[in-house]
Amino acid sequence: MNINFSMEESVKKRYSVRNYQEQEVELDKRKAIETFVNSMDNPFEKKVNFHFLDNGETKSQEKLGTYGVIKGAKQYIGTTINLEPLSLEALGYELEVVILYLAHLGLGTCWLGGTFNRKGFAKAMDIGESEIFPIITPYGYAATKKHIKEIAMRKMIQADHRKEWSQLFFKNDFHNPLTKEEARELAFPLEMVRLGPSASNKQPWRILINDNACHFYEYKEPGYSERFSYDIQRVDMGIAAAHFDLSVKEKGIKGHFVTAGEPKIELPENLEYAFSWVRVHKDI
């Protein structure tokens, strides 16, 4: 995986694009995207499969429906996994890295976990039933204006809003919010996590810093994932891991993810430990 874009630029450029221009993505860009996708890996060491669909508009619109959410998109990327511990996080990580790369290329995307016709897209992308198919994204050039439904959706889920630091990041225990000053050089990776996309913009990530580790927790919104056969907010946790990991790497801060680093502390309600990032050779 060779990251050749600035995290801050791509994170700030990316937003959910639901209205696309007629103009197709050029063949050389499509090839570059495929090469980039083929080089993907993730710290959770779970396999994520990518599926491309290049003529989304000419195939039956009805079957490739997005309930009127996405308009004008011709290209789509689908992702499938075996459902096992950390595979949803792996999907979140890899697809978000791809999405940030697409933002760097000037292309719009939109994470879709709910509003797409799974059966129709599975058929068009030749996806069998042995894997689960949690997410697709359209990609292409953003139209100059948002469509009406898109404007209404963004307003309803407050898509432009992000939680404050004091709601997301903590030091030693969950009674003690972490300030940017205390986070020192980790302030940048944490800020990049804060700006990330999440299902219905719920921002379920909570990060606790102690000793030389950042512990990632998921705030499980009660009832939220019930309409799926898996916890879709674990995909959001993978997105948080991608933003954190690419940012520390960009800044030359050394560390790695571990999955069994849960500290023995009291947890607020609905909070579940996900994974940790352990810094090498330095106290945080």
Ligand X SMILES: Cc1cc2nc3c(=O)[nH]c(=O)nc-3n(C[C@H](O)[C@H](O)[C@H](O)COP(=O)(O)O)c2cc1C
List interacting residues with ligand X (CB under 6 A). 15-16, 69, 110-115, 153, 157, 159, 197-201, 232, 235-236, 239
Residue 181 Cβ, how far from ligand X at the closest point, in Å? Answer: 27
Nearer to ligand X, 2 or 144 (CB): 144
Shortest Å distance, C-beta 38 to ligand X: 23
Nearer CB in complex with ligand X: 32/151: 151
Instruction: Using the minimum distance from each CB to ligand X, give the nearer residue, 203 or 247.
Output: 203
- Beta strand pairing call for 205-210 and 169-171: parallel
Length of the chain counted residue by residue: 284
What is the smallest separation between the CB atom of 197 and ligand X, expressed in angstroms? 3
Sequence-distant (6+) residues with CB within 8 A of 86 are 44, 45, 46, 259, 275
* Cα distance between residue 127 and residue 158, in whole Å: 33
In the complex, least distance from residue 232 CB atom to ligand X, rounded to whole angstroms: 6
Least separation in angstroms between residue 92's CB and ligand X is 7
Nearer to ligand X, 50 or 111 (CB): 111
